A and B are shown apart, each in its own frame.
Chain A
Amino acid sequence: MTALFLLTRYFSASVRGQLQYPGSTILLAAGQFFTTIIDIVAAWALFARFGPVQGWTFGDIAMFFGMISVSFAIADFLSRGFDMFGAHFIKTGDFDRVLLRPRSAALQLIGYDFRLARIGRLAQGLIVIGLATASLSLEWDAAKVGLALWTIVGGVALFVGLMVFQATLAFWTVESLEVMNVLTYGGVQAAQFPLSLYAGWFRNLLIFIVPLGCVAYFPVLAILDKPDPLGAPAWLLPLTPAAGLIFLAVSFLAWRFGVSKYTSTGS
């Protein structure tokens, strides 16, 4: 029985559980949709008042915005167990329960919960991508679609990696998890705008430390057929999402270290 099969079993259990409260699920999805689509309203209001900025139009911003939303929605859907790890597993002691089962802890945490309400953010991302497409009169050919999917793979990997990292921190401090919101929710926020708007040190942070620029800014430039005003070579742009996968691998190494720390100190 492969891990994938078990995940499908977890998935169906999670969905059946949530369908016991359909009203709540729909409300939450609607809430996600509205709270996240509002940010594009701010961008729209600013463009309406100030006009294009450094050559970027509202359509460009919407494309960055939509792509990162889709990536984050999928990652959030897959990594709820890691996101809630401190509160739902460490504080309650339920991580013991996880360790008492003969499967890897990471697999059980992915399977812990799949929140259907994330559809709200996913829908928002797709609608905003549609808005961008209309506003820019963009033609989607096979290469662009492939590049968009690859960008999303990289983005999902990066955000899942961040949540794994956040969960790992919980082994040391139960309460400080909020600090990771800077990089998850804050990362979405930062990646909504082109890196060229930011100060140099902040740009470098978003490229080399937490490679959000690699799963949004650079590949989306390639989708938009724009050269990088910062001077990154055109051939490099479509390759950058790989950085998300590397980040994920590093996060899992840290996670394994955290699990071994847990078993030596307990809760």
Chain B
Amino acid sequence: MPDAIRPYAAAFAARFQLMLQYRAAAVAGFATQCWWGGIKVMVYAAFFANAAPGETPITLSQVITYTWLAQALLVLSPWSGDPEISQAVRTGAIGYERLRPIDTYNWWYVRAAAWMTARALPRALLMLAVAGVAFPLLGLEAWSWRPPADALAFALFALSMVLVVLVSSAFVMLLNISAVVTLDERGINTLVASLLIAFSGNLLPLALYPDWMQTFLLIQPFASFLDIPFRIYFGGLTGWGAAAGLALQAFWTVVMIVIGRAWMVRVMARLQMQGG
């Protein structure tokens, strides 16, 4: 392994391993997500019972799959800054971060990526096992997590999920830096959470919002965290549409990294002037 990336790989591995230890948190998160998903699925089913087939922008089975996917991958969305960093900000330990002979942005970015993926992995597997495998076996075919539209859709979805990790980590970095600036991350985190719930697809598949909002909903950055990969998954976005979706995710990743890096340089310069 080249020396340049060795510290970052080590940081990723250490954090990943640490987060995997939180067995109870994973089980609890999974239980919560089953509950949430179950309620949503039942409510959607009641609403869809009213509508004639073909009248809705997506079908009930697609909405159900979307819901399970969203619950399975919930922690891949940037709900808050890295708690360890906000903690370090409060205790003043943030000064030590500057003592490490490495690029602080990359360091934190890698840690954020590990933090999110390690928590997502066990939950996603559990959810897949229950909603994707157990449900059909139990005869609950109608309520289950369906396979992707086709092999190409799956490949594009996988690519899109990689972009989700990249764009989410870039957004977590913005939250991290704002925690350094404000010294209290909670206010920002809750405000960001409301935007995330509303505009990522977490609350409602974006396609179900009123039709006049659709263009705006697709290009705004929050769709990149969740809605775009899911549309690709069930074949809502194919061909050039899927390519555009991936491009949009890549675009927001780059934009957030550029802003984050520039902001970080300024904030850290100020931090040093104050003497940490």
Contact = CB atoms under 8 A, between A and B. Distances in A.
Interface in A31-75: 31-32, 34-35, 38-39, 41-42, 45-46, 48-54
Contacts of B51: 49-50
A173 interface: yes
29 contacts: A21-B184, A24-B184, A26-B187, A27-B186, A27-B188, A27-B191, A28-B187, A30-B190, A31-B186, A31-B191, A35-B193, A42-B203, A46-B47, A49-B51, A49-B208, A53-B46, A54-B46, A175-B22, A175-B24, A177-B28, A178-B32, A179-B32, A182-B35, A186-B35, A186-B39, A189-B39, A190-B35, A190-B39, A198-B42
B1 interface: no
A210 B22 CA distance: 27
Closest 4 CB pairs of A and B: A31-B190, A27-B187, A178-B28, A179-B28
B137 interface: no
A176 interface: yes
A208 interface: no
A35 B203 CA distance: 11
A158 to B, nearest CB: 17
Contacts of B43: 46, 193, 197
B204 interface: yes
Given A186-B35, A189-B36, A35 B46 contact: no
Given A31-B193, A197-B43, A24 B186 contact: yes
B25 interface: yes
Contacts of B107: none
Interface string B40-70: 0011001111110000100000000000000
- Pick from A31, A53, A54, A189 the residue with the most CB of B within 10 Å: A31
Nearest to A120: B190
A45 B209 contact: yes
A197 B50 CA distance: 13
Given A51-B50, A193-B43, A35 B194 contact: yes
The SS class assigned to the A binding surface is: helix
A24 B29 CA distance: 27
A24 to B, nearest CB: 5
Contacts of B208: 45-46, 49
Contacts of A198: 39, 42
Contact of A173 (B24, B38, B189, B193): B24
A202 interface: yes
Interface of B: 22-25, 27-29, 31-32, 35-36, 38-39, 42-43, 46-51, 56, 184, 186-191, 193-194, 197-198, 203-204, 208-210
B77 to A, nearest CB: 13
Interface residues of A, number: 42
B201 to A, nearest CB: 11
A202 B38 contact: yes
Interface in A126-184: 173, 175-182
Contact of A46 (B28, B38, B204): B204
Given A24-B187, A27-B187, A202-B42, A45 B24 contact: no
A176 B203 contact: no
Contact of B28 (A48, A52, A176, A199): A176
Nearest to A32: B190
Contact of B186 (A28, A35, A186): A28
B197 A38 contact: yes
Contacts of B210: 45, 48-49
A71 B132 CA distance: 36
Interface string A14-31: 000000010110111011
B177 to A, nearest CB: 17
Given A24-B187, A54-B46, 12 more contacts: A23-B187, A24-B184, A27-B188, A31-B186, A34-B190, A34-B191, A34-B194, A38-B197, A42-B203, A177-B28, A178-B29, A182-B31
Contacts of A24: 184, 186-187
B244 to A, nearest CB: 24
- Pick from A32, A51, A198 the residue with the most CB of B within 10 Å: A198
Given A21-B184, A175-B22, A50 B191 contact: no
Nearest to A181: B32
B198 A38 contact: yes
B190 A28 contact: yes
A155 to B, nearest CB: 18
Nearest to B204: A42
Contacts of A52: 50
A56 B228 CA distance: 32
